Each structure stands twice: as structure tokens, then as C-alpha cells.
Structure 1
Amino acid sequence: VRLHYVYPYPHVDKLIPLMADGKILPYLDIPFQHASPDILKNMRRPAHAEKVLERVHKWREQCPEIAVRSTFITGFPGETEKDFDILLDFLREAQLDRVGAFTYSAVEGAAANNLPGAVPEEVKEERLERFMEVQAEISAARLGNMIGKELEVLVDAAGDGQSIARSYRDAPEIDGEVLIDGVELPVGEFAKVKVTHADEHDLWAELM
């Protein structure tokens, strides 16, 4: 079981020791959404990016294996270039394992629709592209750190001399995959593998 879309209340901290003890899968999906205090305030979310960073670092100290995923929005009404730079700085500091992002779009009845400072669509898209470029570098580095490590994976599919699997770090359909070349393993079974190389999305491994 992976914990998805968990609001970052203080009680989340109590789960990390359970992850370190192997009682809960060490995977945490928390939608931080942004890092600029002004934008977070307009989103009606806690505006304490520094405290969030402290907590992420503390989680990793307590449970080095933890995979942290989050989602963010670019182009929220009122977002300035300074706000966006704060977001990029947060991203670089947090070094999150998995990240999703999308541009802001108006939702019928949402209070944010009435906020001043609508961001042009082309600016939203340009910021999203820059955001994902930064995260791609982070993801590639973090996945690169997995090379040489041993993992237990669950096989999702097999064919054409390859098996497609997932580790505890990979939620289905939204995260990456572990690709095992040269062998077709039974779907639905677990296997022990050793990571041989990586890119910004996926891992490649060999059967042990």
C-alpha cells in the first residue's frame, strides 16, 4: 500500500518510523503545489516552504529508503517570475524522487478564478517546461544513485524477451518502471534484481 495525496499535517511525521521499520511501504505522495508564500496563501495552503524542506530532510534521515513524490502547479493567478524562481529553488533543495506538474486552469466555481494577475497561457507553458527540465535533472541523478543496488520488484508485464516491473518506489501508471532485459518473468510475481543503469524516468536491471 502506498500513501497518496497525503496532506502534510504533522501526524505524517509519525508514519516515517513505521516506514523505517518496514511496517509501511516507504513511499509518500504529498501535493505541495507550490513554494512561494504568496502563492500558497492564495491557494489557502500552509505557507511554510522552509519547514517543509526541514521535514523532508528529517524524513530521509529517519528512513533513507523513502521515496517522496509531489505535484505542483505553474501559472496560478498572481504567480510572478519571482514566485516561480522560489518554486525552482525549492525543487532543487527538496530533491524529490517523483514529481508531476501541470499548468493552472480555471475550474467552475473555484475561488481562484476571481484572483487578480491571470498568467498568460504561453507563460504557464513556458514555466512548466522549465520546471520539468529542472526536475528531469534531479530525477536522473536520484535514479542514477540506484545503480548497483538490489531491489525486489513486482512483474507487471512480460514479452519480447523483456519483463516490465515496479519497485516500491514506483506507483502504477504515474511513476517509472524497472525494465529487465533478456528474461520473461511470470506476471504478478516478485523478483530480486540488481539495477544496472537508469535515466530520468526508469531503471534497468538484471535478474539475480
Structure 2
Amino acid sequence: WIRMHYVYPYPSVDDLIPLMAEGKILPYLDVPFQHASPRILKAMKRPANAENVLERVQKWRSICPDLTIRSTFITGFPGETEEDFEQLLQFLDQAQLDRVGAFAYSPVEGATANELADPVPDEVREERRARLMDFQEDISTQRLEAKIGREMTVLVDDIDEEGALARSPGDAPEIDGMVVIPDGDDLAPGDFVRVRITDCDVHDLYAERIEG
């Protein structure tokens, strides 16, 4: 299985989506959007048009409805106001991303961002990171709940006391959740198996094997 990680949302990415829809590449994109406020994106020296990003996400999903989108964001970048942060939350609400990671900004030695005005206090950076993750948790859980009842092929990673621990096409190793198969004790790592999703929690899916 091949997944696309840390892919910038350049137009060339659009050419990959039909290949995902055809099953030639896993329908998974890890795109580091970083923020949604045009002002902060400009300070980060990143493309600064959240509307275009939303349109692109919608287009990707119209071509490949099974597409899983993961992204990462930074809170507390120098100069970030509460209004900027609220724009980021609004973007998350509209984009409905499947998986999100967030990091509180931390100065890096030699980085030009260290010279920017209006540094955000440490406690505010972390508070915003926590708020973002709480906000996104509801979205991610709803995205998982929408998979209940669906059938899919998963790849077994490990066997433990819970049963078989597998990954769906939308679950990258180490950073995403798992598909837990309680009746999969006789499976082995590396096995591909058809399952039906029966339940989920905030991170993982639970499934039963489909015979045949």
C-alpha cells in the first residue's frame, strides 16, 4: 500500500486524485495546510487563500469520495490573534478533514519567524492547540461514524489480546487509528482481509470479518 504524505496542495496533486479513484494509489493525502488565516499564511510564506483550498478539497472528494485527508496546523505563530485562530477553526468546520495534528509554535534557532513582531505567549499557544484538537475531535469522530456499516479491505499489522489490529486505506502507520478485529486471532501480520465496520471510538474502527 502506498500513501501520499506531506504533499503540498499544488495543482499537480490534482492529477493524482483520479488515480486514487481508480484504485492505483491509496485514497489518502497528508497535506500540511498549517493555517487558514491569510495574514498568518503570508507570514509563514505559504499560499494564502483558504477559499481556494476548500474548493480544491471539495473537488478532490467529488472525484474520489473515499479520499482520506490528513493535515497539520500550527497554533500561536507570531502575530496570531484570536480572530486568526477563529478563522482556522472555521476552516476546519468547512473542510471536514478526517485526521488532524496540531503543534503549538516553538521558536527554532535561526528561523526568520523568530524576528516577527507580536510573539504569542506560551500558555496561549498551547491553549489554542488544545482547543483546536478538541474542536477537530468531534469532526474526526463523525467521519469515523460515517464508516459504520461499510465493507472494506484492511491490512493486518499485529495480533494482541483485543484480536487483530489492522489498518484501512485511510489509516497510516503510527499517526492514524487502527481497525480492531476481535474475531481475527487466527490472522497474521501482512494478511489482507475483508471486514464490515461495526463501531468506532474517537480514534479507531471496530470490525467483523466477512466470510468468503
SS at match of 2:15: helix
Rounded to whole Å, the distance in 2 between the matches of 1:129 and 1:196 is 30
Q: Which of 181, 192, 195 is matched with 2:194 structurally? A: 192
Q: CA deviation at 1:8?
A: 1.1
Rounded to whole Å, the distance in 1 between the matches of 2:152 and 2:79 is 44
For 2:204, the equivalent position in structure 1 comes to 202
Which runs of at least 4 in structure 1 moved beyond 4 Å after TM superposition? none
SS at match of 1:172: coil
Deviation digits for residues 155-206 of structure 1, max 9, x if unmatched? 1111325110001100000000000113311111111110001122110001
For 1:15, the equivalent position in structure 2 comes to 16
Q: Which amino acid aligns with 1:57?
A: Q
For 2:122, the equivalent position in structure 1 comes to 121
Q: Please show how residues 35-74 of structure 1 align to structure 2 within 5 Å.
A: 35-74=36-75
SS at match of 2:77: coil
1:108–1:161 Cα change, 3 Å: closer
Q: Which amino acid aligns with 1:156?
A: D
CA RMSD of aligned residues (A): 0.8
Number of equivalent positions: 208
Rounded to whole Å, the distance in 1 between the matches of 2:54 and 2:163 is 39
Q: Unpaired segments of 5 or more residues in structure 1?
A: none
SS at match of 1:155: strand
Rounded to whole Å, the distance in 1 between the matches of 2:136 and 2:155 is 26
Deviation digits for residues 5-60 of structure 1, max 9, x if unmatched? 01111111111111111111110111000000000000000000000000000100
Q: Which amino acid aligns with 1:148?
A: G
Q: Please show how residues 1-208 of structure 1 align to structure 2 within 5 Å.
A: 1-160=2-161, 162-184=163-185, 185-208=187-210
Q: Unpaired segments of 5 or more residues in structure 2?
A: none
Q: Which amino acid aligns with 2:203?
A: H
Rounded to whole Å, the distance in 2 between the matches of 1:97 and 1:143 is 8
Q: Which amino acid aligns with 1:124?
A: R
